[in-house]
């Protein structure tokens, strides 16, 4: 079955004084992937930029650059996309019964169990290293230890980690910032999807398992009778783990499930720092700003916000 979605992702900055120049880069356009096809995509910037261009970054994500060079006190960046999604969620029954130890060993040594090219092996090893927002420290190792039992199949491990995050930590909007560490998250016991993804990534990397951070969205309005998913009102984040024989397997610890056709992938990287929806710099003598983000991912033909 294929689902067709209309996606609107709008970011609005309101400044305390005139901004003379604003330069930014977005990662707000979905990727073309197996199980996900982008039918149409635009990025609109108001005020109209003097310069704009598109770019494919190191990880293959589609980014848009803009430069606004006339004075403004409000900046609005709106990404509109239409996407067909036919992704089938992974399941424990469908995943190879490879253990987490064998997986880590194959990535470390590059033996035949990895069954990948040298270039792919280098990329996998990069995603075992610590990154800015996913650091496998002592607190992470201690928290993760009960899940990493000897000879446990990797698929079973992924399910257990996601379930523990969903049940042991509270989802609380505004309880963290982009700089919150895994140690701080575990100490306070609450966070948001970004924090949960970073925790699971750090736990996997601490044991030599490649994992990447995925930025995207989930359906805002669920079908009748289905519960609305956590994180559906803004950008969402989840984890992609490499499983020998299955490739990259996406799982959402915030909602304790494998990723299915209700999700749209924008991009991926080592952690949030590689794929923020929008980053940039402004020039102003004013102080203070206000940010608002609105996201709607709805079945095509529905009425998203304007």
Q: Is 109 exposed, middle or buried (0-12, 13-18, 19+ CB in 10 A)?
A: exposed
118 pLDDT more than 90:
no
Q: Which of 61, 72, 52 is nearest to 33 (CA)?
A: 61
d(CA 276, CA 269): 10
**Tens of pLDDT, residues 78-100:** 999 999 999 999 999 999 999 99
State residue 161 phi and psi, 5-degree precision.
-60, -45
pLDDT at 198 over 80: yes
Angle, alpha carbons 224-195-146 (nearest 5°)? 95
pLDDT for 146 equals: 98
Do β-strands 247-252 and 257-258 pair in parallel, antiparallel, or remain unpaired? Answer: antiparallel
Model confidence at 31, pLDDT cuts 50, 70, 90, reads very high
pLDDT tens digits for range 100-116? 999 999 999 887 555 67
**C-beta of residue 164 within 8 angstroms of C-beta of residue 256:** no
Alpha-carbon gap, residue 105 to 1, rounded angstroms: 37
Q: pLDDT by residue (tens digit) across 4-21?
A: 999 999 999 999 999 999
Region of 174 (left: φ > 0; alpha: ψ -120 to 50; beta: rest) is left
Q: 198, 187, 205: which is closest to 254 by C-alpha?
A: 198
Q: Is the pLDDT of residue 284 over 90?
A: yes
What pLDDT digit, counting tens, does each position of 62-80 carry?
999 999 999 999 999 999 9
CB 17 within 8 A of CB 289: no
> Strands 236-243 and 278-284: what pairing?
unpaired
* pLDDT at residue 189 in the model: 97
Average pLDDT, the chain: 93
Phi-psi region of 92 (alpha: psi -120 to 50; beta: other; left: phi over 0): alpha
Ordered structural domains, the chain, with CATH: 3-86+276-299 (2.60.40.2250), 92-260 (3.10.620.30)
Alpha carbon distance 262, 89 (integer Å): 10
DSSP-assigned letters across all residues of 267-296: EEESSGGG--SEEEEEEES---EEEEEEEE
């Amino acid at each position: 079955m294929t689902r067709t979605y209309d996606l609107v992702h709008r970011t609005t900055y309101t400044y305390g004084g005139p901004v003379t120049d604003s330069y930014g880069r977005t990662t707000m356009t979905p990727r073309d992937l197996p199980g996900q096809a982008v039918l149409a995509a635009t990025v609109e910037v108001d005020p109209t930029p003097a310069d704009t261009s598109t770019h494919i970054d190191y990880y293959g994500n589609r980014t848009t650059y803009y430069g606004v060079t006339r004075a403004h006190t409000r900046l609005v960046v709106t990404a509109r996309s239409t996407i067909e999604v036919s992704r089938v969620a992974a399941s424990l029954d469908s995943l190879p019964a490879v253990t987490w130890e064998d997986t880590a060993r194959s990535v470390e040594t590059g033996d035949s169990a990895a069954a990948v090219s040298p270039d792919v092996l280098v990329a996998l090893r990069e995603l075992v290293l610590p990154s800015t927002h996913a650091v496998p420290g002592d607190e992470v190792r201690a928290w993760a230890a009960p899940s990493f039992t000897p000879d446990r199949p990797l698929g079973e491990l992924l399910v257990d980690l996601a379930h523990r995050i969903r049940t042991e930590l509270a989802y609380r909007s505004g309880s963290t910032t982009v700089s919150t560490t895994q140690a701080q998250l575990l100490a306070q016991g609450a966070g948001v999807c970004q924090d949960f993804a970073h925790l699971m990534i750090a736990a996997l990397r601490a044991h030599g398992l490649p994992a990447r951070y995925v930025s995207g969205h989930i359906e805002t309005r669920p079908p009748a009778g289905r519960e609305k998913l956590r994180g559906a009102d803004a950008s969402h984040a989840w984890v992609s783990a490499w499983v020998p024989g299955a490739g990259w397997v996406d799982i959402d610890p915030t909602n304790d499930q494998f990723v299915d056709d209700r999700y749209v992938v924008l991009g991926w990287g080592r952690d949030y720092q590689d794929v923020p929806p929008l980053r940039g710099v402004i020039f102003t003598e004013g102080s203070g700003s206000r940010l608002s983000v609105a996201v709607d991912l709805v079945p095509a033909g529905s009425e998203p916000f304007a």
